[in-house]
Amino acid sequence: MQKIAAIIVAAGEGMRLPGDRPKAYRLFCGKPLWQHSFGVFKAHAAIGRLVLVANPAHREWLGEQEFVPGGATRQESVANGLAALAENPPEVVLIHDAARPFVDAALIDRVIEALAAGHPAVVTAVTVKDTIKQVAEGRVTTPNRHELYAAQTPQGFDYGLIAALHSNSASTEATDDAQLAEWAGVAVHLVSGDERNKKITTPEDLPMTPRTGMGFDVHRLIPGDGVWIGGVKIPCEWKLEGHSDADAGLHALTDAILGAVALADIGQHFPPSDPQWKGADSSLFLAHAAKLAAEKGAQIQHCDLTIICEKPKIGPYREAMRARIAEILALPMDAVSVKATTTEGLGFTGRGEGIAAQAVVTVLQ
Ligand code: MG
C-alpha cells in the first residue's frame, strides 16, 4: 500500500511521572522515551511520512527535531498532526502514543495489513486478564470478561475518514482515535496488540536498566602494624602505603560504583591532595559513592571484589570482609562476593611489593 503516514503523539505533560523533565523526554535505555517508538516507525519500510506532535513548551528537550505543535488535549494534538499531512494527504495514517516505547514492526505490520484489507478504522488491543468490576451509582456489576479488550496504539485509519472525524468532532473527550470512529458509526476492526506494548504512566512502569562498573586499585606494602583491606584490618608486620588507610579493596569497589553510574573516579571525589582525607577510613569513600549512586536513581544489586596478593593471607578474613562491605553498602551478604588470588610469584604482587584489587558492581538504574 502506498502513502502510509504515521503520527507520534508526545505532547502530553506527563505529570504523573515525577522527574526533572516531562515524561516524553525521560531517558530510558540512554535515549528519550519518545525516540523509542519514533525510531521504530522511522525504520519501518512501509511508513513513508512520520510526524512528531510535541508540546511547544518542551522545545528545549527536542533540540533540532522537527515537530508539529500539540494542542491542549490529546485529541487536539492528533488533529494538529493530521492537519500537518493535509497538503499532500496519505491514503492511511497510523496514530501512536509516544508513551508506548515497546511498539515493534510486527505490530505495525498487523495494522497496515488490516488497513490494506479495506478496514477504515483499526485498533490494536489485548484481552483483559483480570475480572473487571463496573461501579455505577454505588452498584457493582461484572461485565463479561470475554467481551472486554484493552485498547493500545498504534491505531490505523483511512486518512480522509479520521481527518474528517477529528475536524468535525464537537467533543474533545475521546481518549483514543477509534472512539471517534465508533461515535460516527464506523465499524472498527480489532487486531491483536502486544502485552509488551505497555503504556508508561508511573515510575514503576519504566523498567530499570542494568549497568555494570569496574574498578581497579593498587597500593604498596611497607613495614607496619597491619593491612587494611576489604574494610578489615589484618594484623601482620606490613601495612599499605597511601594517603588514606590505603584499602585497595574498598577503593576498587568505590571506583566500580562510580563507574556504574558514570560519575568519574575516586580521585576526583576525594583528591589525595586534600588534607581532610589523610588517614581516612575508606568506608567513607565507599558509602559516599553508594549515596551518589542512589541520588542518580541507581540500586546496587551485587558487587564482586578480587584481591590479588601473595601476602598477607586473605582467606581467613574473607567472610569478615563480606560482612563489612555488606554493612557499608546496606546489602544482603549474598549480594557481596570477595575472592582472593595470587599471581604465582610473578610481578609486583608476586614479589610481595603491593596488593592489587579488582571490583565489579552491577546496578539497576
Ligand atoms: Mg587507592
User: Residue-wise pLDDT tens for the chain (365 aa)?
Assistant: 459 999 999 987 765 555 567 888 887 777 889 999 999 999 999 999 999 999 998 888 898 999 999 998 899 999 999 999 999 999 999 999 999 999 999 999 999 999 999 999 999 999 998 999 999 999 999 999 889 999 999 999 999 999 999 988 767 678 899 999 999 999 999 999 999 999 988 767 777 889 999 999 999 999 999 999 999 999 999 999 998 999 999 999 999 999 999 999 999 999 888 888 888 899 999 999 999 998 887 899 999 999 999 999 999 999 999 999 999 999 999 999 999 999 999 999 999 999 999 999 999 98
Q: Ligand 1 centre from 244 Cα, in Å?
A: 8
pTM over 0.85: no
What does the pLDDT read at residue 1?
47
**Cα 346 to middle of ligand 1, angstroms:** 21
Decide: 94 and 103 in contact? Cβ < 8 Å: no
31-49 b/e with 16+ CB inside 10 Å = b? ebbbbbbbebbeebeebee
Query: What distance in angstroms lies between residue 256's CA and the mean position of ligand 1's atoms?
Result: 12
Q: How many Å lie between the centroid of ligand 1 and the Cα of residue 246? A: 6
Asked if 261 and 296 count as a contact pair (C-beta separation under 8 A), the reply is yes
- CA of 365 from ligand 1 middle (Å) equals 26
Q: How far is the CA of 252 from the centre of ligand 1 (A)?
A: 7
Instruction: Determine the Cα angle at 146 with ends 141 and 149, to 5°.
Output: 90
Residues with CB under 5 A from ligand 1 (ion): 217, 251
Dihedral (C-alpha) 157, 161, 164, 168: value to the nearest 10 degrees?
-90
Residue 184 phi/psi, 5-degree rounding, is: -85, 0
Q: How far is the CA of 247 from the centre of ligand 1 (A)?
A: 7
Residue 238 pairs in a beta bridge with 223
For ligand 1, the distance from its centroid to the CA atom of residue 160, given in whole angstroms, is 68
The closest of 36, 153, 155 to 101, measured between CA atoms, is 36
Q: How far is the CA of 219 from the centre of ligand 1 (A)?
A: 6
- Give me ligand 1 centre to Cα 72, in Å: 56
| CA 243 to centroid of ligand 1, rounded, Å | 8
C-alpha cell at 30: 540512554
| Residue from 222, 220, 210, 290 nearest 250 by CA | 290
Tell me the CA–centroid distance for residue 7 and ligand 1, in Å.
Answer: 53
Among 350, 311, 309, smallest CA distance to 223 is for 311
| Type of residue numbered 270 | F
CA–centroid distance, residue 217 to ligand 1 (Å)? 5
Distance 306 CA to ligand 1 centre (A): 15
For ligand 1, the distance from its centroid to the CA atom of residue 316, given in whole angstroms, is 23
Residues β-bridged to residue 336: 303
